[in-house]
Amino acid sequence: MVFTSFNFLVFFPIVITLYFLFPQKFRSPFLLIASYFFYINTKPVFAVLLGGVTLTTYIFTLLINKTKSEKKKKQLLVADIIIVLLPLVFFKYFNFLNDGLFTLLEYTGLRWPLPNISLLLPVGISFYTFMALGYVIDVYNEEIEAEKNLGIVALFLSFFPIVMSGPIERATNMFHQFKAKLAFNYSMAVNGLQLILWGYFMKLVVADRVGLYVDDVFKNTDSQFGSTLLLASLLQPIRIYADLGGYSLIAMGCAKVIGINIIPNFRRPFFAPTMSELWRRWHISLIKWLTDYVYTPLSFSVRKYGVWGIVTALMLTFIISGVWHGAALGFIVWGAIHGVILSIETLTKKRKDNFEKKYFLNTSKGYFFLNILSTYVLFSFSLIFGAAAISVSAALGIVEKIFTNSFHKPYIDGGTLLYSFIGISLLFIKEFMEEYYPGRVLLFENKNKLIRWGTYYFVLFVIIFFGFFGGEQFVYFKF
């Protein structure tokens, strides 16, 4: 079931009503049933996999908790990581690895006998696998006790607002909320519905409209001018942000109505003046996961190499981030590009700070704006490898065309771009006010009911009259 489907608009109010009608002790089990029902709606067989990952995680965390020997604990951790990762590797990377081995062996004259398998990637597998891994590592690090109630672990991994596309939650944040006596909280419910409304705006008015143009262009790059490819490349980050950001807001909103707080996934990423700042604002749950479970242990183990150790850890972390996004060389290149940019920023940070101080640039609005702009352009460029093209050579072809064939009027799909412009403008104005004038212009939170409700109706009508209702998929479903 997808958030933008009519089925979900029926499902959610029913779940909420029943949830609060049930006595406290039945609420968590009911949420678990509702979550599996939600997940099964995509493809029932995928639920078996989710169940398997849940059971494995549950058993291994209990075993790790019980074991006294550090060595055995470590063995159990490694075994769990391998077992939990197996389905992800099989479904997501089998063909990629198979192709790689085939090509490699071809050079030596050997033949790789395994044929490629046409597999449908189970929705959300990358997300719940990372959540399961995070939980077992937390138990190993003794940051959390292993949960004895299988239902709580199952609910954590299948919780319907986040099971499809995150945010990648932590057991430390969720378990105590599932176990708490959740009473209806008026302000949380209202706030949740506000988030849902804005999430739908981002998805239907911005992401899906911009996506119409972007997909149209990237579907057939050979026949496009460089200027068209440039325009589509510059729109791509907005599309992805509005898509996953919108999804995350709907997820957060649904959870809030139930009375559960989940971590925010984005914080106005396009106002970041540096790439490191952008990554503190973009897909926060994934970056936080990678920081805690990959970057920090890695940089700790290579700290003797000083700044170069940090660079190595950064590169590896972002390459892993690329691999997580997809089984293609393009994603690895995308990750590597970010590793390189962040490494450069790390290595030059002191000099840059001194330079800015010397020429009073840190107070210059123009300079700040230029930094925001260049960060955005760099990010757009990286996405040519990570989202636009199906292969590295195709991505390079796009880049080449942008630089050599851009002196033409780009392809303008008038209606779509006009609608996109309206959506992007509204999104930008809201985020601009929140970034630079927080609390100055209150709309959703205004104490005046007329303004507050007027805003709700305005956003609702913008969705109804400007939204695109043809596509029911989210970009991150394929991850």
User: Based on C-alpha coordinates, what's the Rg of the chain?
Assistant: 23
Minimum CB distance to other proteins, residue 371 (Å): 36
**Rounded distance between C-alpha atoms, residue 120 and residue 125, angstroms:** 11
406, 456, 472, 477: which one contacts other proteins (CB under 8 A)? 456
**Backbone phi, psi, residue 475, to 5°:** -55, -40
**Rounded distance between C-alpha atoms, residue 165 and residue 477, angstroms:** 6
Q: Which of residues 66-105 bind other proteins (CB under 8 A)?
A: none
**Rounded distance between C-alpha atoms, residue 282 and residue 317, angstroms:** 15
**Which DSSP category does 89 fall into?**
I
Closer of 303 and 478 to other proteins (Cβ): 478
Q: Which of residues 424-443 bind other proteins (CB under 8 A)?
A: none
305, 359, 436, 453: which one contacts other proteins (CB under 8 A)? 453
- Of the candidate spans 260-268, 318-326, 388-396, 460-468, the one that interacts with other proteins by CB under 8 A turns out to be 460-468
CB-CB contact of 379 with 318 (8 Å): no
Q: Which of residues 375-414 bind other proteins (CB under 8 A)?
A: 414
CA distance from start to end of the chain: 16
Minimum CB distance to other proteins, residue 461 (Å): 5
**Rounded distance between C-alpha atoms, residue 226 and residue 232, angstroms:** 10
Q: Is 6 in the site for other proteins (CB under 8 A)?
A: yes
Minimum CB distance to other proteins, residue 453 (Å): 7
- Of the candidate spans 23-31, 74-82, 170-178, 467-475, the one that interacts with other proteins by CB under 8 A turns out to be 467-475
Pick the closest to residue 416 from 216, 205, 210, 201 (CA basis).
210
**Rounded distance between C-alpha atoms, residue 422 and residue 365, angstroms:** 26
With a CB cutoff of 8 Å and minimum separation 6, the contacts of 30 are 18, 19, 22
> Which CA distances in Å does 189 have to 183, 200, 254?
11, 17, 9
CB-CB contact of 65 with 145 (8 Å): yes
Pick the closest to residue 280 from 360, 345, 200 (CA basis).
345
Q: Which of residues 166-225 bind other proteins (CB under 8 A)?
A: 184, 186, 189-190
119, 369, 415, 421: which one contacts other proteins (CB under 8 A)? 415
Minimum CB distance to other proteins, residue 286 (Å): 32
The helix-helix angle for 24-40 and 6-21 (nearest 10°) equals: 160
Closer of 266 and 419 to other proteins (Cβ): 419
Minimum CB distance to other proteins, residue 365 (Å): 35
**x-or-dash string of contact with other proteins, 19-38, rule CB under 8 A:** -x------------------
Minimum CB distance to other proteins, residue 179 (Å): 22
Minimum CB distance to other proteins, residue 30 (Å): 17
92 C-beta neighbours (distance < 10 Å), count: 23
**Rounded distance between C-alpha atoms, residue 126 and residue 287, angstroms:** 14
Q: Is 418 in the site for other proteins (CB under 8 A)?
A: yes
Closer of 117 and 464 to other proteins (Cβ): 464
CB-CB contact of 399 with 383 (8 Å): no
Token pair 């490699």: residue = 104
Q: Is 421 in the site for other proteins (CB under 8 A)?
A: no
Residues assigned a catalytic role: 325
Closer of 69 and 220 to other proteins (Cβ): 220
Q: Is 466 in the site for other proteins (CB under 8 A)?
A: yes
166, 326, 330, 467: which one contacts other proteins (CB under 8 A)? 467
Minimum CB distance to other proteins, residue 188 (Å): 10
Closer of 7 and 296 to other proteins (Cβ): 7
CB-CB contact of 70 with 78 (8 Å): no
Reported residue count of the chain is: 479
301, 464, 473, 478: which one contacts other proteins (CB under 8 A)? 464
Number of residues that bind other proteins (CB under 8 A): 21
105, 460, 473, 478: which one contacts other proteins (CB under 8 A)? 460
Closer of 29 and 454 to other proteins (Cβ): 454
Pick the closest to residue 394 from 328, 339, 341, 337 (CA basis).
328
In the complex, the residues that contact other proteins under the rule CB under 8 A are 6, 20, 184, 186, 189-190, 414-415, 418-419, 453, 456-457, 460-461, 464-467, 469-470
